[in-house]
Chain A
C-alpha cells in the first residue's frame, strides 16, 4: 500500500509566524489556527502542497 506523504507544519514558533496564509488557501479547509497553534486534519488533507507555497516563511514541509 502506498502511504500518503507526510505533511509537517513547524508551528512551535521557530519558523511559523501564525499568519494564517495556509489556513486561508487550504482548498479543503483542513488547517486550523488557534492563536499560537496550527493543526491540520490528517484524514482530510490530500497533501496537495498548496499551503507549502502559500507559507511566506517556509514553515510547511511535505516529505
Chain B
C-alpha cells in the first residue's frame, strides 16, 4: 500500500526501554522508527514512581524536571509494624528518587528524538511480518489506517502486556506465582514522611507488599501488589489495599485523586529474548526485579545494549539470532544473576508467616548493619532468632 515504508530499526513501544533502545540505535548510526500506541508518551502513568539512581549516568540519563523528590531511605515494616530502615549508606542503589513518571518517559523520548529517532504516535503494531522464519517488520495501524513498516531489526518494547515476543515465538508466558496484580491510589492529605519510601510486608499483601512513595505536600502514591496465585476472590488487590488504608488513620483521612492498576512480573529471567530479526526488552522481556518490582533501571540498562546491537546488526546486515546473541549475552552479564537471585529470594519470602516477618525485621531493627547483604542480614537474625535462620539455610 501507499504508506508502506522501510527503516533500519523498528521499535514497538515508547516506554523507557523502547526510548533507550531507539536512542542508542540512532546514536550508532541507524535509521530508527519508534511506535507509540497512545496519543501521549508516558500517560496515563502506571507506576509507583520510585526509582534507584546509581545507574542513570551509566546509560546517559541526566536528572531533569522529572525528579519529583529525593528520598533519604526506605523503611520496611513488619506485620506488627516493627521498622527496619535502609538508608543510602548501606544500600545506595536501593533508594533514590520519586519521579514524575510521565515526565521521565517524555524526557527519554525527547532524548531519542534528538538522536534522530522518528516517533509515530497513535500507532500500534497489529502483527509482525515474517519471511522464511525471520521477522522483517510489522503491520501497523496509524490513526486507524493500516500499513507495513519493514525493517531488518524489530524490537518488542511493548511492556507487561507484550504481544510482540509471543507473535515471534519467544515464550514470555508467566505462571500465576510469577505475577503480582497491582493497584495504586494517588492520595492527597496523607501523613507521610517525604524522607522515606515505606514498604509493608506480610499478610497485608500476600506475595507482595504495600508501598508508599511520597510526592510532597501531603501527596503520596499508595499502592499494593498481590501475588496472583494467592488471590482468593476477584478484586483482592483493591480489597487488601482499602483494608490497609482503613487501618492507618494517617492515610484513611486522605482523599484519592487518581487510581491506576497493572501487572508486574516477578519471574525468573527468560531463557530467550532474541530470534531471527527480533529482540525484546524491558518489561516485555520480564526484566522487572522480582524482589522489588522495579523495572525502569533494568529496562534502560538492557535498552542501551539492545540499541547498540540493533544498529550493528542493521549495518552489517546480519540479523540472525546468532548475531543477536551479543544482546542476549550483554544484558545477561549485567542483570541475569541478580534477577535470578532475587527471584529465589522472592520464592522464599512469599512463603513466610507474619510471625517470621516480625522476627526478621525485629532482629534487623536492633543492629547497625554496615553493608546490607544476605549474609549480614542472616547473621544479625541468627543472633536473636536462631530458629528463623533455619528457613534460609539454602541462601548461605
Contact = CB atoms under 8 A, between A and B. Distances in A.
A17 B182 CA distance: 12
A54 B235 contact: no
B176 A53 contact: yes
A55 B181 CA distance: 7
Number of contact residues on A: which range applies?
20 to 34
Nearest to B172: A24
B234 A52 contact: yes
B181 A17 contact: no
B29 interface: no
Contact of B263 (A21, A29, A35, A61): A21
A25 B176 contact: yes
Contact of A57 (B38, B179, B261, B265): B261
A24 B261 CA distance: 13
Contact of B228 (A34, A54, A58): A54
B145 interface: no
A19 B228 contact: no
The listed residue with most A CB atoms (<10 A of its CB), out of B161, B173, B179, is B161
Interface in A37-58: 50, 52-58
Given A20-B160, A24-B179, A53 B38 contact: no
B285 to A, nearest CB: 13
A32 B181 CA distance: 18
A35 B38 contact: yes
B341 interface: no
Nearest to A28: B173
B257 to A, nearest CB: 15
A24 to B, nearest CB: 4
B133 to A, nearest CB: 20
Contacts of A50: 176, 228
A23 B163 CA distance: 9
B348 interface: no
Contacts of A61: 234
A7 interface: no
The listed residue with most B CB atoms (<10 A of its CB), out of A33, A57, A60, is A57
Number of contact residues on B: which range applies?
20 to 34
A35 B37 CA distance: 8
Interface string B210-242: 000000000000000000110101111110000
B159 to A, nearest CB: 7
A58 B174 contact: no
Nearest to B239: A58
A57 B176 contact: no
A23 B161 contact: yes
Contacts of A54: 176, 179, 181, 228, 231, 263
B17 to A, nearest CB: 15
B45 to A, nearest CB: 11
A12 B265 CA distance: 26
Contacts of B188: none
B260 interface: yes
Given A19-B46, A21-B181, A56 B235 contact: yes
A36 to B, nearest CB: 11
Contact of B260 (A19, A23, A24, A25): A19
A24 B235 contact: no
Given A19-B262, A53-B181, A56-B261, A24 B161 contact: yes
Interface in B160-176: 160-163, 166, 173-174, 176
18 contacts: A20-B262, A21-B160, A21-B161, A21-B262, A24-B161, A24-B162, A33-B161, A35-B38, A52-B234, A53-B181, A53-B234, A53-B236, A54-B181, A54-B228, A55-B234, A56-B262, A57-B237, A57-B261
Given A34-B124, A56-B181, 6 more contacts: A17-B260, A25-B263, A50-B176, A54-B263, A56-B183, A56-B261
Interface of B: 37-38, 46, 124, 159-163, 166, 173-174, 176, 179, 181-183, 228-229, 231, 233-238, 259-263, 265
Interface of A: 17, 19-21, 23-25, 27, 29, 33-35, 50, 52-58, 60-61
